[in-house]
């Protein structure tokens, strides 16, 4: 695997030689690209020695460009990792600027990009940095950490770079090269559906799609071929995920059933409408009367229809509940005939658009609670658990059923 390691100017850059060593121990070829400010924290000599490759830092280095241009570097990379990633480089990637070699490569690459932020905790929590983090995640860029703990500035909080070994392990899983779901096909649904009332109005819900997208991304990082069927959301397709857009529950049903025969695992994270207007008015409905009533009819239950298939994939549902979370989730697990259910509580005081989530996963023989974590981190753990149960079910004739309880958006 070819890792292009970008190093930016933070004190955690002193850990970069160790990170290079950890990546190489796992069999990666590592090409280091440093920014000018990184050179204040770690020497080119050390990095060249551990990487075994000529270090690159200057976009205008004619000899180096002649040997391998910045575009060739961008193509060479199987993954671009920036560690440590400063607030400045996050902002620059968000803006799409390319004033130096590293950000130019970020614009020019089609490989997955991962950032391991490292900065003072106040800088990390600054609204500008958090907004940039959110935008980067929406674009499918992986944010690894940061850790919480004592910092070089003497303060304590979130902003420490993750330990090199953890970064190396995660980066390896991002390319799917040695992932637990290598060769498996995973279908995921995400987001809300829109059920038309008339040409300008529709019924929908508050799902942001973040959880489903994070799960699709984690499954792809684990090596799976992933098809993500999503209702209307404003998130870009994660790397290595085939995204299919739909609007209504009927369209989502059709899109899922078009591909489900080939699926090993189905994860239903979408907040599908349960009811839709019986008919969509041809023209905009006028406000002629004091009150208006509308006939609603049931939408197809996509999850239950997949679980009922004769050759059903390992089927994982979500249970979005406002009360009696585990009890209701377990009932859904059983009633819909699922292998697992992920339960999350939703409600007025739960932020649907949140980046964090806490869930419980239930299956026929047990359950597991997951503490509050980012949807990206949580999804990696959920995919691991799903894969573990998927393989266990395949190796036995009796299929255990699993239910996950969580806040799915
Ligand atoms: N689901 C589905 N199709 C529907 C409704 C729900 O595939 N028409 C899936 C969701 O993606 C989720 C699971 O069913 O994985 C449970 O959804 P939830 O909204 O929690 O429950 P419902 O089955 O809709 O039941 P209720 O609204 O009565 O709680």
> Which residues are bridge partners to 186 per DSSP?
226, 265
Same domain, 257 and 291: yes
Catalytic residue among 106, 153, 280, 299: 153
User: Of 174, 204, 221, which residue sits at a domain end?
Assistant: 174
Same domain, 142 and 209: no
Same domain, 231 and 372: yes
Residue in the block written with tokens 């679980």: 307
User: Of 174, 209, 236, which residue sits at a domain end?
Assistant: 174
Q: Is residue 110 situated within a structural domain?
A: yes
Same domain, 273 and 328: yes
Same domain, 83 and 26: yes
Same domain, 164 and 207: no
Same domain, 302 and 342: yes
Domain hosting 70: range is: 2-174
Same domain, 97 and 123: yes
Q: Which residues of the chain have pLDDT under 70?
A: 176-178, 348-352, 396-409
Q: Is residue 179 situated within a structural domain?
A: no
Q: How many CB atoms lie within 10 A of CB 288?
A: 6
Tell how far the Cα of 406 is from the centroid of ligand 1, in angstroms.
Answer: 13
Q: Is residue 311 situated within a structural domain?
A: yes
**Residue 46: per-residue pLDDT:** 94
Q: What is the β-pairing status of strands 296-298 and 314-321? A: unpaired
Atom number in ligand 1 closest to CA 303: 7
Q: Is residue 351 situated within a structural domain?
A: yes
Q: Is residue 180 situated within a structural domain?
A: no
Atom number in ligand 1 closest to CA 328: 29
**Residue 398: per-residue pLDDT:** 44
Same domain, 152 and 213: no
CA proximity to 1, closest of 90, 114, 120: 114
pLDDT tens across 104-148, in order? 999 999 999 999 999 999 999 999 999 999 999 888 898 998 988
For the entire predicted model, the pTM comes to 0.71
Tell how far the Cα of 197 is from the centroid of ligand 1, in angstroms.
Answer: 21
| Number of domains present in the structure of the chain | 2
Residue in the block written with tokens 């958006």: 409
Long-range contacts of 303-312 (CB under 8 A, 24+ apart): 303/266, 303/268, 303/272, 303/336, 303/338, 304/335, 304/336, 304/337, 305/253, 305/257, 306/256, 306/257, 306/260, 306/266, 306/268, 307/336, 307/337, 307/338, 307/339, 308/337, 309/260, 311/261, 312/266
106 is catalytic: no
Which of 204, 248, 274, 327 has most ligand 1 atoms within 8 Å of CB, for mutation? Answer: 274
CATH number, position 389: 3.40.50.10300
Tell how far the Cα of 364 is from the centroid of ligand 1, in angstroms.
Answer: 19
Q: Is residue 68 situated within a structural domain?
A: yes
Residue of minimum CA distance from atom 24 in ligand 1: 274
Same domain, 47 and 170: yes
Inter-residue contact 218 to 382 (CB < 8 Å): yes
**Residue 282: per-residue pLDDT:** 97
Residue of minimum CA distance from atom 3 in ligand 1: 301
The burial of 297, by beta-carbon neighbours within 10 Å (0-12 exposed, 13-18 middle, 19 or more buried), is given as: exposed
Same domain, 227 and 95: no
Residue in the block written with tokens 């973040």: 210
Angle at 86 between CA 81 and CA 23, to 5 degrees: 25
pLDDT tens across 30-67, in order? 999 999 999 999 999 999 999 999 999 988 888 888 87
Which of 303, 339, 405 has most ligand 1 atoms within 8 Å of CB, for mutation? Answer: 303
**Residue 251: per-residue pLDDT:** 98
Same domain, 253 and 215: yes
To the nearest 10°, report the CA torsion of 396, 330, 218, 258: 80
CATH number, position 116: 3.40.50.1950
Tell how far the Cα of 280 is from the centroid of ligand 1, in angstroms.
Answer: 23
User: Of 174, 199, 220, which residue sits at a domain end?
Assistant: 174
């Amino acid at each position: 695997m070819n890792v292009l390691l970008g190093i930016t100017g933070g004190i955690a850059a002193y850990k970069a030689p160790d990170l290079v060593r950890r990546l190489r121990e796992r069999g990666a070829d590592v090409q280091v690209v440093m920014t000018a400010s990184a050179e204040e924290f770690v020497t080119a000599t050390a990095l060249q020695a551990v990487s075994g490759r000529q270090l690159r830092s200057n976009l205008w280095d004619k000899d180096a460009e002649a040997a391998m241009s910045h575009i060739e570097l961008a193509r060479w990379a199987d993954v671009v990792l920036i560690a440590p990633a400063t607030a400045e480089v996050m902002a620059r990637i968000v803006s799409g600027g390319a004033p130096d070699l590293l950000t130019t490569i970020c614009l020019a690459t089609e490989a997955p990009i991962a950032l391991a932020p490292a900065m003072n905790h106040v800088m990390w929590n600054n609204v500008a940095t958090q907004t940039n983090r959110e935008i980067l995640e929406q674009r499918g860029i992986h944010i690894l950490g940061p850790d919480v703990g004592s910092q070089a500035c003497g303060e304590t909080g979130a902003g420490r770079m993750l330990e090199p070994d953890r970064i190396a392990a995660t980066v390896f899983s991002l390319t799917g090269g040695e992932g637990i779901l290598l060769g498996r096909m995973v279908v995921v649904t995400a987001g809300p559906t829109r059920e038309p009332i008339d040409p300008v109005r529709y019924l929908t819900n508050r799902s942001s799609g973040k959880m489903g997208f994070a799960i699709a991304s984690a499954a792809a990082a684990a090596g799976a071929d992933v098809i993500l069927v999503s209702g209307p959301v404003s998130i870009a397709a994660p790397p290595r995920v085939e995204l299919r857009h739909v609007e209504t529950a009927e369209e989502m049903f059709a899109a899922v059933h078009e591909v489900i025969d080939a699926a090993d695992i189905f994860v239903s994270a979408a907040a599908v409408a349960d009811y839709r207007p019986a008919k969509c008015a041809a023209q905009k409905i006028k406000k002629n009367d004091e009150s208006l009533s509308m006939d609603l009819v049931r939408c197809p239950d996509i999850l239950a229809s997949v679980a009922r298939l004769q050759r059903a994939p390992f089927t994982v549902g979500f249970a979005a509940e406002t009360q009696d979370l585990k009890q209701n989730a377990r009932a859904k697990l059983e009633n819909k005939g699922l292998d697992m259910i992920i339960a999350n509580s939703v409600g007025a005081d739960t932020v649907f658009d949140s980046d964090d989530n806490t869930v419980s996963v239930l299956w026929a023989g047990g359950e597991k609670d997951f503490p509050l974590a980012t949807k990206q981190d949580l999804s990696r753990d959920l995919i691991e658990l799903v894969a573990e149960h998927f393989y266990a079910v395949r190796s036995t004739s009796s299929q255990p059923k699993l239910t996950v309880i969580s806040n799915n958006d």
